[in-house]
Amino acid sequence: MKLVSSIVRLEKLDCVKEALTHLNVHGLTASEVHDHSPQRHETAVWMGREYNLGSSTKVEIDVVVNDDDVDNVVNEIIRAARTGQAGDGFVSVMPVEHRYNIRNGAREVS
């Protein structure tokens, strides 16, 4: 099994979820995150002046998939999340040794 973790634009979450559903990936974890990178970041206006907030709000999407499905999942996330602009995000793939179901204690092994 592999953990496919991606950081994408907040407005692309629904597109990525829909793309993963077409691959029969129905379980995912989505968390709001703030990234800090060299690109232009969100700004706010306070007392008539615009300020750079120093970070961008993104969403982290994590899915655990079988080894055979990794390439399709990664390609679909990239396709669904891409805008062609700086700050589109990234996808990481990490090995998962075991996964346990908390309700019944069952262990899934790759």
CATH number at residue 51: 3.30.70.120
Q: What is the mean pLDDT of the chain?
A: 88
| Cut 0.75: pTM above it | yes
Give the chain's largest Cα–Cα span. Answer: 57
Number of domains in the chain: 1
DSSP 87: T
Q: Using only C-alpha atoms, what is the Rg of the chain?
A: 17
Do strands 98-100 and 56-65 pair parallel, antiparallel, or not at all (unpaired)? unpaired
Q: Summarize pLDDT for 46-89 with one digit per residue, the tens.
A: 778 776 666 678 999 999 999 999 999 999 999 999 999 888 89
Beta-bridged to residue 5, according to DSSP, are: 62, 92
**Contacts (Cβ under 8 Å, ≥6 apart) of 24:** none
- Whole domain around residue 70: which residue ranges? 2-109
